[in-house]
Structure 1
Amino acid sequence: MARWEPNASQRLASAALELFMERGYENTTVVDIAQRAGLAKSTFFRHFQDKRGVLFGEELMTEQLVTAIAAAPDDATPLEAVARGLGALGESLFTDERRALVTRRRAVIDAHPDLMERETLKIASLTASIARALADRGVAGPVAEAAAQLGALVLKWAYERWTEAGNEDGFGDLVRRAASDVQAAVQEV
């Protein structure tokens, strides 16, 4: 693969996941990843801080989610605004074309406790960003926090279902179902 080809970040992520699955996360180096992608080590570090960074690109996810929450209709409830934001991720990050890549990512993370811990931190950061985005919409602090926590649960359920073997449902549809399930559960409490 030529070094000048576009999508270096995506190529590095794909190469990393291939190597993590083949050799294991611990036995894969940044140099291995760059070589598999046909890129220089310096290119890797222009896109990622370290090899964990390949698995945890939360900045883009947070930016898209917060933007979509802000764009939700004024009359949307806090959870509806969050569900809209999560659904928007299905149009860019959780697409059918990326499903295999994201599923491999989940398998690598689930096999390593330290990566699972990092994933938990990522979700906590994302949840805090959701609460701030809701507060920016004028939602009161406790309500924004509760809606953000419920939104994290919606994301968890949708993500788990989307990455299940044999699932072909779109991420946006799964978010809507998970949000409905969460709303029903809250009414039961």
Structure 2
Amino acid sequence: MGRWEPDAAGRLREAAMALYAERGYDGTTVAEIADRAGVTARTFFRHFADKREVLFAGSELLQQQMVGALAAAPADATPMEAITTAVLASAEFFGDIRRDYSRRRAAVITSTPELLERELIKMAKLTTALSDGLLERGVAPDVAALAAETGVAVFRVSFERWISAPDDVPFADVIQATLKNLAALTA
């Protein structure tokens, strides 16, 4: 495959996922990923800082979508209603076309402590961003922190349920079911 072929980043992601499944994360090098994708290592580094970032690129887009939905929630929405809006916006980000990739990505992350730590850092940053969004809406700091933590917990539980659910179950439905479980738990 020539260097001029389109979507080098997509090919690099797919090559990395295949190699991580075959050899494990630690047993895979950037050079091998680039070779499998039909590009040079230099091209790899134009798209990703390191082999870990292949799995985490796009996290900021998810965060932006969720924070944007939070900001767009009606002004009279309670903190949890606004957080619910943000969590439901994640379903739009993932769509059902990303489920297979999400399943493979989760398998790699859960099998590698370094990646699991990076995933937890990503969730902590998302929590902070959502809490900041609530603070901008005038929510008290302790309530903002609790609502943001709860929203990220709902997202995480829903995401894990979604990647193990049958392919015809939409992410938004899983989120709604998780929110119902939360409501029953706190009633």
Q: Same fold (TM over 0.5)?
A: yes
- Look up the match of 1:82: 83
Query: What is the CA deviation profile of residues 123-167 of structure 1, one whole-angstrom value per residue up to 9, with x for unaligned ones?
Result: 111111110111112211111100001011101111011111535
Q: Distance in 1 between matches of 2:88 and 2:5?
A: 31
Q: Distance in 1 between matches of 2:166 and 2:134?
A: 35
| Cα RMSD (Å) | 1.6
- Look up the match of 2:136: 136
Assess, with a 3 A threshold, how the Cα gap between structure 1 residues 2 and 99 changes in structure 2: closer, same or farther.
Answer: farther
- Look up the match of 2:5: 5
- Look up the match of 1:65: 66
- Look up the match of 1:183: 183
What's the TM-score once normalised by structure 1's chain length?
Answer: 0.90
- 1:84 aligned partner, one-letter code: T
The unaligned stretches of length 5 or more in structure 1 are none
| Secondary structure of residue in 1 paired with 2:52 | helix
Q: Distance in 1 between matches of 2:150 and 2:130?
A: 10
Assess, with a 3 A threshold, how the Cα gap between structure 1 residues 9 and 87 changes in structure 2: closer, same or farther.
Answer: farther
Q: Distance in 2 between matches of 1:112 and 1:148?
A: 27
Query: What is the CA deviation profile of residues 81-132 of structure 1, one whole-angstrom value per residue up to 9, with x for unaligned ones?
Result: 222222222222x222111111000001111122112211111111111101
CA displacement at 1:60 relative to structure 2: 1.5
- 1:87 aligned partner, one-letter code: L
| Secondary structure of residue in 1 paired with 2:56 | coil
| Secondary structure of residue in 2 paired with 1:76 | coil
Q: Distance in 2 between matches of 1:12 and 1:49?
A: 12
Deviates more, 1:76-85 or 1:104-113: 76-85
Assess, with a 3 A threshold, how the Cα gap between structure 1 residues 24 and 68 changes in structure 2: closer, same or farther.
Answer: same
Are residue 145 (structure 1) and residue 140 (structure 2) matched?
no
Q: Distance in 2 between matches of 1:3 and 1:173?
A: 41
Query: What is the CA deviation profile of residues 43-74 of structure 1, one whole-angstrom value per residue up to 9, with x for unaligned ones?
Result: 22222111111112321221111111111122
- 1:33 aligned partner, one-letter code: I
Percent identity of equivalent pairs: 47
What's the TM-score once normalised by structure 2's chain length?
Answer: 0.91
- Look up the match of 1:41: 41
The unaligned stretches of length 5 or more in structure 2 are none
- Look up the match of 1:120: 120
